[in-house]
Amino acid sequence: MKQNGQSIVLLLAVVVLVVIAFGAGVFLNNMTSSSSEKTPPILPGPAPAKTQAPPPEPETPSGDTTDEKSPEPAPIATAPPAEEASEVIKPSGKQAFRWDFSREYKYVYDYQISATTNVGGQSGQNDATGKLTVYSQGNKSANLTLSDIVIAQTPDRQIPPTITLNFSEDSKFTHTTPSTDTMDELTFTLPLEELEVGESTTIPSRKTWTASNVPTWARGSTKITLKDYVLKDGHYCAQFELETDISKPEIPSGIMGEYTFSLTGTGTTFFDMTDKCFHSGEYTFLMIISVALGETKRTVKMDSTVKFTRNQDKEKTENQK
């Protein structure tokens, strides 16, 4: 039994070291070590009303007019308040939602993840930030790079960037395998069909993970609801609500131990309808991986929050290089 327990701990260490969480695989590696130490464009609002000039004063008749008063000027109309001028005029009918990768361009995002892990009863906290770049190739596809990664608990650690190729305008990776798909499709989730406000659709979702050091997939689905159209920092955006459930792992044959995998979560994202890219988003996820050898079982749990926001100042600098 003791030998089985040691083998399980080793297997879980391998699992957590290689499981890639939202584009920052090295981030999960750090969490494992930390836990062991217990540680339409912007639409204008109504135009301002025209100012009405006061009527001309009547001519003063001859004679005594001391008891007569001049008429009061008409009130001057004012422009509507700012909130009215920012009113969003929503499109009628169904709309499509796709990136624009028709030209070479870099969309740049500030990216952060905060996670609490529990491995075998020992918990740890890790927080990381980075720069997420969606580099349109001008041929309807893009490459994704996560760079400038800093882990708050180990700020001096040098983290190499991750690069993923073949990202399509519908936010799907093509021509990838579990060992090469290192950037999650979950970060930028789009509906595959046209929607109108209030409608929902469900799309297939997947997550890379490893079982006994063998890269493989876990599969499930994400429900996407078009909640509304809103203004975010002056950008006309579609607001999506997401619910993800990925609980069907593909277990490679011949591996040691019995594995289970599940990832569930919710999120809110904003897609810029003018620039054809994401404006921002935030997710919360719970990932649970278990492995059993004989009667001994160990479990890894990770609660995480992922946020990303477009940074147009950095974007301008990147595209001037």
Convert the pLDDT of each residue in 91-143 to its tens digit. Answer: 888 999 999 999 999 999 999 999 999 998 899 999 999 999 999 999 999 99
Per-residue pLDDT reduced to its tens digit, 202-260: 999 998 888 888 889 999 999 999 999 999 999 999 999 999 999 999 998 888 889 99
Query: How far, in Å, CA of 282 to CA of 98, rounded?
Result: 19
Per-residue pLDDT reduced to its tens digit, 132-179: 999 999 999 999 999 999 999 998 898 999 888 889 999 988 767 776
Please name the helix (run of DSSP H) or strand (run of DSSP E) that holds residue 245, with its range, or none: strand 235-249
The alpha carbon torsion through 134, 136, 140, 141 (nearest 10 deg) reads: -50
pLDDT at 183: 61
Q: What is the pTM of this model?
A: 0.74
For 21, phi and psi rounded to 5 degrees? -110, 105
Tally Cβ neighbours within 10 Å of residue 174: 10
In sequence order, which residues have a C-beta less than 8 Å from that of residue 158 and are 6 or more positions away?
none
Three-point CA angle 288, 204, 20, nearest 5°: 40
Measured in whole angstroms, the distance separating CA 264 from the mean position of its chain's CA atoms is 15
